A and B are shown apart, each in its own frame.
Chain A
Amino acid sequence: MRQRQTIPLLAGLVFTACSSVPTRTLRIDAIGVDEKPVPCIVVVGDDWAGAAEKNQFVNLTGDDTLALQVAFEQPSVDIIVAAVPVDQATGKPLMLPKSRDESAKATSFLADFAQVRLTDPDRQLFILRQR
C-alpha cells in the first residue's frame, strides 16, 4: 500500500527536477559592418511583440549592451537582432517591426540571426549588413 503512494510521489519529484528550465543572462550587442553601434530590437524565438513589450532594445541612446535573460527550453535558442528607426530627440523607436522584412524596409540594415546554445559564451555580438 505504502509502495503505491511512494511511486507517484517519486515520479512527481523526478518530473519537477527534469522540468526546471535552465536560464542564462546573455549580453547582446549590435554593430554595423563599420563597427558603429546600430539601434536594434532583440527577438527571442519569433516573439516580436514580446520583445517590444519587454523593452528588449540595444543602442537606442548610444553604445550599450542588453542583458537578456533567456530560458533554454530547447538545447538552443534562436535570437534575431533587427535594426529599428529611432527618434533622436527622445531615444525611442519610431516603429516596432514585427518581422525581419519590416525592419529592413524601415532601416538600411538586414537583421542578423544566431542559434545560441546554453553552453555558448555570454557575450553575443551581432553584425548587421547594409541593405
Chain B
Amino acid sequence: MVKSSIVVPPQATGGISRKRLPQDSQGAEIPAEVYFEEKPKRPRLQLNTDGNQRNQRLFGVLLGTLNKFKDDSENKSDAEKKRLAIESKLQEKLANEKKEIGEEIQAEREQKQQAIEARKRQAQRALEEKRESVVLRQHKNQAHFLMTKTSPSLCYLPATLTEKDIAILEKQSNLAKVAQEEFEGRQQARTQDDIKDSTLVQKDTSEVPSPSVAPSEAIDE
C-alpha cells in the first residue's frame, strides 16, 4: 500500500471544529464563562447644561436641514415647474422631429426602391421586345419557305410549287401577319407601362440634390 505524502495534523481530524475564543494580552485564551459574561453598560456621558443645550441645538439644526431638503424635493418651485414644462416640450418637439425625419427617410427609401423596380421592369420589357421582334422577323422570313419535318428543320423552296405548297405558304404568311399584329398590340401596352415607369424614374432623379456650386465655378474659385 502506498502511503500519502500529505501529513494531516492530529487536531484537524478531531471532528467537531471549535471557534477559538479571543486571547488576552499574554496570548492565553479568555475562558468562555468570563468572555460571555454580561458586560456592564457604558455609562452615559455626564454633560453639563451647556453641552446638553448644544446637543439639542445641533439635533434641531440637523432635523431642520433634513426637513428642508425633504420639502425642497417634494414641493417644486415655480421655476422648477417651468423648467420641467420647457424640458417636456423640448422632448416632445424632438420626438416629433425625429418621427418626421424617420418618415421622410422611409418615403425616400420607398421611392428609390420603386424607381429601381421601374428601371428593372423597363429593362425587362426592352429585352422581351427585342427578343420577340427577332423571333417575329425570323418567322416572317421563314414564312416564304417550306420546312422539313426533321429537327432541326430545313427551309427549302421548290422551283414549281404545288397547290398544297402554296396553301402552306399562305397559311404561314397569315400566321406571321397575325403574330405581327399581336406583337404591335403588346408593344402599345408596353409603351404605356414604360411611360408610367419613366415618370417614377424621373421623379427619383429629379430629387437627387444638385451640387450648390457648379464644377466650373468651383474651378474658377
- A joins B in a complex: no
B residues bordering A, Cβ < 8 Å?
none
